[in-house]
């Protein structure tokens, strides 16, 4: 993981190599596996702010994904090294993360995506319409 110069303090990149088991019969990455790649990047990002899934649970909130959007630009193939970038772009009422998957060697963009998560109070099971203070604390900002 690394923070690129000029990048948001709430962004992280990870690299992975496309494995054979991620391919479809056309010998390109099956479209559904990109969601798995987003999860890899999201977990690295959440770890970097000290608010991974276990820490979320310990804080009394679960953060289910309620929306994912992907735009496929190019195909990834077996053995290709990918850079997965995740960046928090909204946090006040929901946690929205933007993603970019690109070829690690050329920088060519392959996929853009976003995911949206909302806080749910574990005790009551109720969705929070404003992100809980713990998220603002982890991001190092004051709640609005």
Which pLDDT belongs to residue 74? 97
Over the chain, what is the mean pLDDT? Answer: 93
Residues 126-132 have a mean pLDDT of 96
SS3 of the chain: the string is CECCCCCCCCEEEEEEECCHHHECCCCEECCCHHHHHHHHHHHHHHHHCCCCHHHHHHCCEECCEEEEEEEECCCCECCCEEEEEEEEEECCCCEEEEEEEEECCCCCEEEEEEEEECCEECCCCCECCCCCHHHHHHHCCCCC
pTM of the predicted model, to two decimals? 0.91
Which pLDDT belongs to residue 9? 80
Task: Kindly state the percentage of the chain with pLDDT values over 70.
Answer: 93
Query: Could you tell me the domains of the chain?
Result: 11-139 (3.10.129.10)
Task: Kindly state the percentage of the chain with pLDDT values over 90.
Answer: 91
Predicted confidence band of residue 144 (pLDDT cuts 50, 70, 90): low
pLDDT tens for 72-117 read 999 999 999 999 999 999 999 999 999 999 999 999 999 999 999 9
Which pLDDT belongs to residue 142? 81
Which pLDDT belongs to residue 1? 32
pLDDT tens for 4-21 read 444 568 999 999 999 999
């Amino acid at each position: 993981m690394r923070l690129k110069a000029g990048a948001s303090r709430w962004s992280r990149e990870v690299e992975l190599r496309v494995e054979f088991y991620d391919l479809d019969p056309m010998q390109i990455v099956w479209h559904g596996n990109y969601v798995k790649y987003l999860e890899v990047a999201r977990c690295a990002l959440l770890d970097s702010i000290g608010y991974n899934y276990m820490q979320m649970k310990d804080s009394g909130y679960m953060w289910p994904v309620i929306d994912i959007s992907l735009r496929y630009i190019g195909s990834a193939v077996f053995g290709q090294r990918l850079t997965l970038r995740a960046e928090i772009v909204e946090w006040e009422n929901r946690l929205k993360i933007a993603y970019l998957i690109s070829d690690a060697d050329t920088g060519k963009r392959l996929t853009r995506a976003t995911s949206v998560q909302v806080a749910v109070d574990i005790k009551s099971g109720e969705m929070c319409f404003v992100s809980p203070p713990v998220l603002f604390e982890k991001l190092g900002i004051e709640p609005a």
